[in-house]
Chains A and B, each alone.
Chain A
Amino acid sequence: MMINKRHGRLAAVAVAMAATLAATAACGGSDAPATTDGTKAADEKITLTLQTFGGGTNFGYKAAVEKWNQEHPNVQVKYNNLTPDFENQYWPQMLNWLQAGKGAGDVIGIDEGGMGLAKARPQFFTDLSQYGLDSRKADFPAWKWENGVNTEGKLFALGTDVGGMAVAYRKDLFKKAGLPTDREEVAKLWSTWDDFIATGKKFQEKVKDVKFVDGLNTWFNVVLSQEAAKNGNVSYYDKENKLIVDTNPAVKSAFDFASKVNEAGISAKLRNFQDPWTAGMKKGAFATMGAPGWMLGVIQGNITENGEKPDQGKGQWDVAAVPGGSGNWGGSWLAVPKQSQHPKEAAELASYLTSPEAQLLAFKEGGNLPSTIPAQDSPELQGAVNDWFSGAPLGEIFGPSIKTLPPIFLGEKHSQTKTEVENVVLGMDDGSIPADQAWQKFIDEAKKVAEG
């Protein structure tokens, strides 16, 4: 009868639905149950997720991870670089996952700007000293080590790289503008930042379709890191976590420099770490870029499309000394979130990736300057030459200053503040904020975050 047929169909629907729900439940529960002590039988194969951020070659861990995976067949590492943008994307998402207890990798990268908050939230991270990583202390300069110790006095993060500072420039474009292309002579063009802008104007007179700098924000950060070192090693916050954007001369100097670049009309008005900036780098939309060590990997990685076409653009770029002396922009740490199901192996991985050996691999891959003393002293670093950057002697450029880089204090809310004030710098760049109102807005936005 009809009814039976219909009921048959009903049953089919019900079965289908139950099956879907079951599949759902299975997918939902696919995270293996956590083992309480994190130990596993020796022959059991586990996978660790390594999450990082940054453009181009980012942390430069490709070779290091490959090596680890070869040597540890039972502890395989998945290297997942999530986004180029730390403040806007990576860190807020990571904080969500840390709070939710799910989503963060077994080992995660944290930029200097996030360390203030990470230190103040011990509940998020595994105490690395319980896996004997206290023994690494002698490898690191004191400030890099101390920043990895949280407010409870526990070691939770190990240093990866440090900033350093130079200028990367396009030789072919400099030639087009009638400027010298040799790195020694280029450095002589800009012994001060005013000279740098003057050079930019000269460049712009000759070359119309390409701008001298990428955008205001990169250079704002270059100058800020230099000036902070001259003003008590503080940036947006003082060491009591009080907002000082309106009183710290370093911030105002950096802002004023950005304004001058803006007035000079030499900016390509691209926002660093966003798509058009990356595309502009590939197409050659600007001639210079402020370059801490890791930025070299961003440039090379973006142009060579993550190392898939290793010779693309080779010999176009070179690296010269920066005006205004050494600075320390960027530099990161690796931490093991408490939610990791394999904290012991994760701690081992973090220790391996921050070892002098792996740091030198990362340096070779992405220019990330090592933070461990043995790696800094090594001939591999001090004598390093980068072929892709026209044979630039990176060891000579970064080597002398690398051990004396100033540790800059960044407050708990540094990352959130940075997002907002940089938006003002970018707004000045793209014209959505009038230049004469920008400084006031800069301070207002910072205050909103600090008070919020």
Chain B
Amino acid sequence: MTTIAQTRQRANDRANRRRDPFRATPLTKAALLFAILLSVFPIYWMIVIASRTTSQAVDTPPPLLPGGNLGENIARVFATEDAHFITGLTNSLIVTSTVTLSVVLISTLAGFAFARLRFRGRKLLLGSILLTMMVPIQQMGIVPLYQLMVNLGWTGTLQAVILPFLLNGFGVFMMTQYTEQAVPHELVEAARVDGATTMRIYWNVILPAVRPGMAVLALQVFMLNWNEFMWPLIVLTPENPTVQVSIAFLTGQHTADYALIFTGTALSVLPLLIVFIAFGRQIVGGLMEGAVKA
């Protein structure tokens, strides 16, 4: 797909350089640079404050360049035992990976069934999933879910923040659409003719074909879940938090100690930042391809 587009683009470039509607004017470039500046500034600011002392953070005029206190601040974050920062990071990784794996698995299974299998009640069931997409379960059901966790004795534990998120209507919907477009009927039929069972078709035909879609879904679910705040804040305790809850407690415990709080915040962003820088090309490519097909 990309190659075709590229070839075509190159041909167009040659043919139509003068009347090219895709020429970037200096204004466009300036606007883009400004947009990037806005995008990057808060992250840059986070690093500036994280590398300064708290009294510098509230100076007027504000400091615009990073200072030399980053190491000291990082040491302080890790020395602040009551924030349970490391626990928070580890917990977030565990919770988010589990949820992502589960959603991707459940969604590819159901997406396959809805897109390429015939069974009674298919339309109705798919329609019902579309409906459930509109229900923010974790927010609407917050009271009973909380009471359920209390009764199970699961408050303060990770299963309390994993289980309610294992399903995701959007994932099923997306994988249904993706499967429809990525897997030709003929492929499934050929496998059937060869005597493959449905499960074998899933593993041998469907999964390889929908892998790009899976990656996009995984990325989105991961980010969504990494950010989850309301439910963990209520059901977890300061001793066993996710990273977001840990930062919320850090801001509470160390009021207005901006250097410390910003350092914690920067550290919480760091893992994703590294992934982003390392796999930037693939992430942008994946997002764009997933977006077009889904």
Enumerate chain A interface residues (CB-CB to B < 8 A).
2-3, 6-7, 10, 13, 16-17, 20-21, 23-25, 27-31, 49, 55, 78-85, 89, 96-97, 99-103, 273-279, 282-283, 302, 305-306
Contact = CB atoms under 8 A, between A and B. Distances in A.
Given A23-B94, A275-B256, A282 B237 contact: no
Contacts of A85: 252
Contacts of B255: 55, 84, 273-275, 278, 302
Given A6-B207, A97-B237, 14 more contacts: A7-B203, A24-B95, A24-B158, A27-B94, A31-B156, A55-B255, A81-B253, A84-B252, A96-B234, A103-B238, A274-B255, A283-B58, A302-B256, A305-B257
B252 A20 contact: no
Interface stretch (B16-24, B127-135, B147-155, B219-227): B147-155
B253 A24 contact: no
9 contacts: A6-B204, A25-B159, A82-B249, A83-B252, A89-B252, A100-B156, A102-B153, A279-B58, A306-B254
Nearest to B260: A305
Given A21-B98, A276-B256, A103 B54 contact: no
B138 interface: no
B55 interface: yes
A102 B98 contact: no
Nearest to A105: B239
A99 B150 contact: yes
A21 to B, nearest CB: 7
B256 A101 contact: no
Contact of A282 (B58, B98, B157): B58
Contact of B238 (A24, A82, A278): A82
Nearest to A58: B253
Nearest to A24: B158
A31 B153 CA distance: 11
B210 to A, nearest CB: 14
Nearest to A298: B255
A345 to B, nearest CB: 18
Contacts of B97: 20
Candidate in A23, A24, A78 with the most chain B CB atoms within 10 angstroms = A24
A28 B238 contact: no
Contacts of A96: 234
A27 B98 contact: no
Given A17-B98, A23-B94, A49 B159 contact: no
A399 to B, nearest CB: 30
Contact of B204 (A2, A31, A83): A2
A49 B157 contact: no
B13 interface: no
A99 B147 CA distance: 10
A28 B203 contact: no
B94 A24 contact: yes
Interface pairs A-B: 5 shortest CB-CB: A28-B157, A278-B256, A103-B237, A83-B252, A80-B82
Contacts of B200: 3
Contacts of B240: 27, 30
Given A10-B203, A28-B159, A282-B256, A101 B153 contact: yes
B186 interface: no
A100 B143 CA distance: 13
A24 B166 CA distance: 14
Contacts of B94: 20, 23-24, 27
Nearest to B156: A102
Interface string B165-192: 0000000000000000000000000000
B91 A3 contact: no
Contacts of A100: 149-150, 155-156
Given A78-B81, A82-B253, A100-B150, A24 B101 contact: no
Contact of B237 (A6, A23, A102): A102
Nearest to B97: A20
Nearest to B239: A49
B162 A24 contact: yes
Contacts of A17: 98, 101-102, 105
Contacts of A20: 94, 97-98, 101
A256 B184 CA distance: 77
A108 B208 CA distance: 55
Interface string B253-269: 11111100000000000
A276 B156 CA distance: 31
A278 B94 CA distance: 35
Given A28-B159, A103-B237, A282-B54, A83 B253 contact: yes
Given A7-B203, A102-B155, A282-B58, A78 B162 contact: no
Contacts of B101: 13, 16-17, 20
